[in-house]
Amino acid sequence: MGQPVIGWDRQLTRMISTNSQPASWKFASSTCELPISHHSALTLLSSGDADLPGLLAAARAAKERFKPNVITYSRKVFIPLTNLCRDYCGYCTFRRDPGQRGARTMSPEEVLEVVRCGERMGCTEALFSLGDKPELLFPEMREALRRLGYRSTLDYLEAMCELVMRETTLLPHPNPGLLSSAWLKRLAKWSPSIGLMLETTNRNLMDSGAAHDNAPDKLPAKRLRTVEEAGKLGIPFTTGILIGIGETRQDRVESLLAIRDLDRRYGHIQEVIIQNFRVKPSIRMANWTEPSRTDLLRTVAVARLLMPEMNIQAPPNLSLPYYEELIDAGINDWGGVSPLTPDFINPEAPWPHLQDLERRTESKGQILKQRLPVYPEFVPRVLACPGQLSEKLACASDAEGYAQRAR
């Protein structure tokens, strides 16, 4: 990744402060090296809507230099293995307490049924999303796990990843919350990539009444530790930030830089997700204001300029109806999109139909390509470790590391 060109960095900041024309930004972005500095990122994040076209042009040019004319997505099924969770994030509609309406832990048979259905629909990813360590808080979960034959939720998750690996053509991508080094290693045996959203580096969001009040697993230092341990093990890793949950602009920049620093040390971050908070009537934060469209676009663009050679993703269903503007802001990936299962984390926001996604992606001069849960540039790393996972990945990927079209 190139080092900042100080002259251009100053030029960029000056252009914002003097309200220069977008055309000069476009010129600058195509002729100067990135990434921008911390200071410029903060300035750009605080800039007004009049500056947005120039910022977007710079971000889009950076994306085109990184991955020209391609936007990827992962065709997936969503497996909410359990929605019991010991945390109480203020924005979450997914979690339940035992006995609460909708509380549910899937059986192995249910997992296989969903995955086999996805297999028939050309899916290549089984995304396991679940609450964090519910058995630590709820005896009901301990009893449910005992009946299933497992000591912990992670033991059960590991077994289900292995089941999917052995019995189907889909590749697992677990997203179970905080993980120790030992657990990262165990899950990586059956999964070509693992995910954990950093969300924010601001620990004040754990204060009483804030977004992460009563959510012990959202302590930023612990989440950074998991991301770092994955780096030490060389595991392709997905992470990202959640915007609009009470963080400042400075927090957003610091969160992105924390991710970038870990990637510079270990080279294992395969994508950074920029997710926007959405209001739902049933959540503790029901009266909060969502980030505006321009705030989201500005944040995505700044992420691109801070990390010009990183896969940047924003979920299209959280930005309907204007989601193709995210391409203008420099994303190169839509994330997981399912033709089968709803987004259980944001059930009110259906994924766009894949044909519609393809049409609107192409209207921006991009080709929509299906990737696997591991990005093409990280496929060789997984293939280099002999075993069942690499054999399966070799069958699932094409010569460039994308999903095999014939599947």
Q: Which residues bind ligand SF4 (CB under 6 A)?
A: 85, 87-89, 92, 94-95, 131-132, 177, 215, 217
Q: How far is the CB of 281 from ligand SF4 (least distance, A)?
A: 16
Phi/psi for 366 (5° steps) reads -115, 155
166 to each of 134, 159, 171, 391, 397, how far by Cα in Å? 27, 10, 10, 11, 17
CB nearer ligand SF4, residue 212 or residue 369: 212
Cβ closer to ligand SF4: 217 or 324? 217
- Do residues 245 and 206 lie in contact, with contact meaning Cβ atoms separated by under 8 Å? no
C-beta of 182: minimal distance to ligand SF4 in Å?
A: 21
For the CB of residue 312, give the shortest distance to ligand SF4 in the complex, in Å: 22
For residue 376, what is the DSSP state? G
Q: How far is the CB of 196 from ligand SF4 (least distance, A)?
A: 10
Nearest residue (CB) to ligand SF4, 35 versus 177: 177
Locus of tokens 């060389």: 234
Q: For ligand SF4, give the closer residue by CB, 34 or 130.
A: 130
Rank residues 95 and 249 by Cβ distance to ligand SF4 and give the closer one.
95
Q: Find, among 162, 98, 99, 160, the residue nearest to 131 by Cα.
A: 98
Minimum CB distance to ligand SF4, residue 217 (Å): 6
- Spatial contact of 332 and 311, defined as CB atoms under 8 Å apart: yes
Q: Return d(Cα 404, Cα 226) in angstroms, integer.
A: 31
Q: For residue 18, what are the contacts with CB-CB under 8 A and spacing of at least 6?
A: none
The whole-angstrom separation of Cα 325 and Cα 398 is: 30
Rounded to whole angstroms, the Cα distance separating 52 from 164 reads 44
Least distance in angstroms from the C-beta of 96 to ligand SF4: 9
Instruction: Pick the closer one to ligand SF4 by CB: 202 or 370.
Output: 202
Distances, alpha carbon 249 to alpha carbons 3, 43, 55, 276, 371, in Å: 23, 9, 16, 14, 32
Say if CB 335 and CB 373 are below 8 A apart: no
Backbone dihedral region of 19: left (phi > 0), alpha (psi from -120 to 50 degrees) or beta?
left
SS3 167: helix
Tell me whether residue 332 or residue 346 sits nearer to ligand SF4 (CB atom). Answer: 346
Nearest distance from C-beta of residue 89 to ligand SF4, angstroms: 3
In terms of Cα–Cα distance, which of 162, 160, 157 is closest to 190? Answer: 162
- Contact between 272 and 240 under an 8 Å Cβ cutoff? The reply is yes
The residues, ordered by sequence, that sit 6+ positions from 217 with a Cβ below 8 Å of its Cβ are 86, 87, 132, 133, 177, 178, 223
Q: Which run of H or of E encompasses 370?
A: strand 367-371
CB of 215 to ligand SF4, least distance (A): 5
Q: By three-state DSSP, how is residue 349 classified? A: coil
Nearer to ligand SF4, 251 or 324 (CB): 251
Tell the smallest beta-carbon distance from residue 3 to ligand SF4 (Å). Answer: 36
Nearer to ligand SF4, 197 or 258 (CB): 197
SS3 label, residue 183: helix
CB of 83 to ligand SF4, least distance (A): 7
CB of 241 to ligand SF4, least distance (A): 14
Report the residue number, 124 or 201, with the smaller CB distance to ligand SF4. 201
Q: 195 vs 308, which CB is nearer to ligand SF4?
A: 195
Partners of 71 in the β-ladder: 368
Please give the Cα distance from 119 to 243 (Å, whole number). 33
